[in-house]
Amino acid sequence: MEQLADRGLTTAEIAERTARGQVNEVSRRSSRSLSAIVRANVLTLFNAVIAALWVLIMIFGQWQDGLFGLVIVANSAIGIVQELRAKRTLDRLAVVNEAPVRVRRNGAEAEIPPRKVVLGDLILLCPGDRLLVDGEIVGSGGLEIDESLLTGEADPVHKAVGDRVLSGSFVVAGTGSYVATKVGDDAYAAKLAQEASAFGLAHSELRAGITRFIKYITWLVVPIGLLLTWSQLNKAEDFGQAVTGAVAGIVTMIPEGLVLMTSIAFAVGVVRLGRRRCLVQELPAIEILARVDVLCLDKTGTLTAGGMNLSEVRPLADDPLTTEALAALANLEETPNPTVQAIRVAHPAPPGWNATTTVPFSSARKWSGAEFGGKGAWVLGAADVLLTPETPEYGQAADLAATGLRVLALGRVATLNDPVGSVEPRALVVLEQRIRPEAADTLRYFAEQGVAIKIISGDNPESVSAIATALGVPGGRDAVDARTLPEDDPDKLSEILDTNTVFGRVTPHQKRLFVSALQARGHTVAMTGDGVNDVLALKDADLGVAMGSGSGATRAVAQVVLMDDDFTSLPSVVGEGRRVLANIERVSSLFLTKTFYALVLSLLAGIFGLAFPFTPRHSTLVNALTIGIPAFFLALAPSNERAKPGFVPRVLRLAIPWGVVCALAVHLSYLLAETRGATPEESRTAAVVTLFLVTWWALVLIARPYLWWRVSLVGAMVVLFALSLAVPFTREFFALTLSDPADDVVSVAISVVAALALTAVFRVVRPADKSPVQDRPTDTLEV
């Protein structure tokens, strides 16, 4: 083991183990396989039902009435293509997002992709690293591992040589190395995550709501479909005509395009965010984006750039060792954080300073230290943690922090065992933080959109307050010191969180409590972060957003990763989620209106023993022009409205009365034409004209506000329907006739009355709900 810790594996050993398949190959959670995509889009219940009905038409009816069978091809092809686009985007960004693994091979350090790790590799660890495989520790320099994501225990665990470590944990302090003993699907985290890491498209509140729609509709379609079939067999003159009428009703009842549009909206959202270098690691995250009403921001790395500049080292006592001690502490870390790196640039390692005992920095302690033999024990950390409030040095540090600077204290201690409160201050180390220039505009956007901002930082409250005030954050001057918060009183903590915006000296454990407290008050919480101290909160938040330059652990647990660390991407990320939910609600109203008017027409035909008022080819024409084609564009339109709860009842409150109005209008047109002695083809034409005009008016209402492309869209549908009536070939193909103008006038008159009824329903339902349908999108359309 000692030899392995020195040199690692050789090239020959790596090749041998790779050939045996002892490699860390695990499937990515960001997308499913090609075969799974094809199966999910082709082998669906809707496709099976439509295929069976198409076969019946091909056997007993006319082939023109089998046009609805193309829905199978269109739904499957569009769904597969869009999801493959999303898969390529996800997989490409997932590879970029993979934090490289540091290993020692052939006696030299190297960085390799996680999937190239083999059994027996010597893996090197530093703060922020996520353990990707199981193993045994062979080197430890104050190594502390957080296993809370596996065990639920929040306290870091000290690891010594010989200790076992599990994949899924991460390093919070110190350095070390371990030998991989289990890789790939044999690793502990891989076994736990096998189900949770699957492709997430099927697990979301939105899709759950649509699944409920389908379940309800299935309960209705089966008995009503049987009733309709029985009535058509009794009414029709021949069996083929009966089958055609029954199939027309059943096909129209099925909202076959609703699931497709939802899948397309998700997939296009992934592609759009991918173009902005945003990696969506779990597709339901797109939906959660729209529901977010509280955004928790970690100051460092989010509001401020990751790097820092050393402003000054202000001596507090006459000690000739001060400068050398600062340099020695700063150069102990193998992988320094931005704060230590800024000090190292100005103070290289001094000779003769050899540490005998070290305590690495951690976010929970907020200090690091070392004992240097005869030169004494020294600590470096947050001034307001190491110093006592009664000292003048504490006041100096507080005054500096109030200007937005980061202030560390350097001091001597008698022992490294709990030195807080017994530090002999020697210097204040002052660092400048760089505010991101785009942060103010981004925060202003969220304020305008009704998203509450909570700035949560481990830094001094005065320093955080200064940054927040400079960015114009409301309430930024009134920073709360998290050390004074009542952690054992969730209600009180929730109240403080609701009424305050800026929090300093927040520990990783408290960040997690903050998220839980906000969620307990019914908030949908998004959390951003880039450091290892943010991991637990990112994991518990409804939506975790990590910076691309952040630690491997944060990127692993976040649902969204901003690959370019571009804070201005957040409005686009949130806007994409809002677009998806608002537009799916919009098109759901169209699809379910169709379902309910078909159900009512089928009931009327079944109960009164009447012929169904149109054939499958008529249904195909009208549905394509008033639902299918428009829904495709409306599902991809911009939207800015935050999603509201109650998606299912809100859609049903509109779709059910609309469906009833449409059905009654169509049924009345058909009956009046038949009563006046019209032929079956003339009666069906009158019903089709009414059906188109009424459902087209529903489209007009749903398409609001009337931007140029929306007006063009609804206008184009009228032109296409008019052409289908005017052109002899299409008129004959769709079995339409205009031989009796009186029937057409009656149909138009009935349609006008029905349109007024639809408008009345819309005005009653939508303003009361303040639905996303009435949003205020931009005047551009991106497809």
The pLDDT tens digits for 248-262 are 667 777 776 777 777
CA dist 695 and 22 (Å) reads 60
Segment 698-719, tens digit of pLDDT: 999 998 888 888 899 999 999 9
Backbone dihedral region for residue 168 (phi beyond 0: left; psi -120 to 50: alpha; all else: beta) = left
Q: How many CB atoms lie within 10 A of CB 687?
A: 28
Which residue's entry shows tokens 């409250």?
461
CA dist 367 and 81 (Å) reads 53
Strand order in the sheet with 525-529: 278-280, 560-562, 543-547, 525-529, 294-298, 452-456, 502-504, 480-481
In a 13 Å sphere around the CA of 627, the CA atoms on its Cβ side amount to 28
pLDDT at 198: 35
CA dist 254 and 619 (Å) reads 12
CA dist 159 and 144 (Å) reads 6
Segment 170-218, tens digit of pLDDT: 888 888 899 999 988 788 766 654 433 333 333 466 767 777 777 777 7
Q: Interior CA angle at 553 toward 552 and 556, to 5°?
A: 85
Which residue's entry shows tokens 């379902």?
595
DSSP code for 373: G
For residues 411 and 426, the answer to whether their CB atoms sit within 8 Å is yes
Which residues in the chain come in under a pLDDT of 50? Answer: 2, 193-203, 768-783
pLDDT at 757: 95
Residue 72's SS3 state is helix
Residue 626: name the closest of 761, 723, 718 by CA: 718
Tokens of 25: 């190959």
How is 178-232 classified by DSSP, letter by letter?
A: EEEEE-GGGSHHHHHHHHHTS--TT-SHHHHHHHHHHHHHHHHHHHHHHHHHHHH
Cis peptide before 705 (omega within 30 of 0): yes
Contacts of 693 (CB under 8 A, 6+ apart): 747, 748, 751, 754, 755
CA dist 663 and 593 (Å) reads 10
- Strand ranges for 232-293 from DSSP E: 278-280
For residues 530 and 554, the answer to whether their CB atoms sit within 8 Å is yes
Q: What is the CA radius of gyration of the chain?
A: 33
Q: What does the CA dihedral 154, 159, 164, 169 come to, rounded to 10 degrees?
A: 40
pLDDT at 215: 75
| pTM summary value | 0.68
CA dist 90 and 96 (Å) reads 10
Tokens of 95: 């590879």
- Beta-bridged to residue 171, according to DSSP, are 145
Contacts of 271 (CB under 8 A, 6+ apart): 85, 86, 89
Residue 137's SS3 state is strand
User: SS3 breakdown of the chain: % helix, strand, coil, rounded to 5?
Assistant: 55, 15, 30
Contacts of 541 (CB under 8 A, 6+ apart): 296, 515, 525, 526, 527
Q: With residue 246 as reference, give the H or E element that holds it.
A: helix 239-253
Tokens of 506: 């927040």
DSSP code for 98: P
CA dist 707 and 96 (Å) reads 39
- Beta-bridged to residue 9, according to DSSP, are 105
Max CA distance (Å), the chain: 114
Contacts of 734 (CB under 8 A, 6+ apart): 64, 617, 618, 621, 724
CA dist 676 and 668 (Å) reads 12
pLDDT at 236: 60
Tokens of 141: 């320099």
Segment 503-554, tens digit of pLDDT: 988 887 888 899 999 998 889 898 988 776 777 788 888 888 888 766 666 7
Residue 103: name the closest of 139, 79, 66, 74 by CA: 139
Tokens of 357: 């005992």
DSSP code for 365: T
CA dist 328 and 355 (Å) reads 9
Segment 610-646, tens digit of pLDDT: 777 877 888 888 988 998 889 888 877 776 666 676 7
CA dist 472 and 721 (Å) reads 55
CA dist 504 and 478 (Å) reads 11
pLDDT at 614: 78
Contacts of 755 (CB under 8 A, 6+ apart): 693, 694, 697
Query: Which parts of 306-355 fold into alpha helices (H)?
Result: 322-330, 338-346
pLDDT at 737: 86
pLDDT at 89: 67
CA dist 91 and 271 (Å) reads 11
Could you list the active site residues?
A: 298
Q: Interior CA angle at 435 toward 432 and 440, to 5°?
A: 155
